[in-house]
Amino acid sequence: MTVEAHITPVWKKQKLLLALLLLGFGAWFVFDGLIGWPKSNDRWREHERLKGQAGKWEEVAKQNNWSTEPPHRLYEYKDILGQYIIGGLCAALGLGALIYWRTQINRTLRMDDDGVTTTSGVRVPFPAIIGVGKKLWDSKGIAKVRYTLDGKQCEFIVDDYKFDTKPTRQILEEIEKRLLSKS
Q: Does residue 3 fall inside a structural domain?
A: no
DSSP 65: T
Give the other-Cβ count within 10 Å of 7's Cβ: 20
- Cα–Cα distance, 7 to 106 (Å, whole number): 7
Strand ranges in 14-163 using DSSP code E only, listed in sequence order: 108-111, 115-117, 123-125, 129-136, 142-149, 152-159
Domain boundary among 41, 76, 104: 104
Per-residue pLDDT band for 180 (boundaries 50, 70, 90) equals confident
Determine the structural domain holding residue 124 and report its residue range. 108-182
For position 166, what pLDDT does the model report? Answer: 96
Looking at the structure, tell me whether residues 87 and 123 fall in a common domain: no
Would you say residue 183 has pLDDT above 70?
A: no
Which pTM was predicted? 0.82
DSSP 112: -
DSSP 35: I
Domain boundary among 89, 104, 119: 104
For position 57, what pLDDT does the model report? Answer: 87
pLDDT digits (tens, 9 = 90+) for 45-91: 999 998 888 788 888 989 999 988 888 899 999 999 999 999 999 99
pLDDT digits (tens, 9 = 90+) for 20-49: 999 999 999 999 999 999 999 999 999 999
For position 2, what pLDDT does the model report? Answer: 93
Looking at the structure, tell me whether residues 165 and 100 fall in a common domain: no
Looking at the structure, tell me whether residues 48 and 68 fall in a common domain: yes
pLDDT digits (tens, 9 = 90+) for 115-133: 999 999 999 999 999 999 9
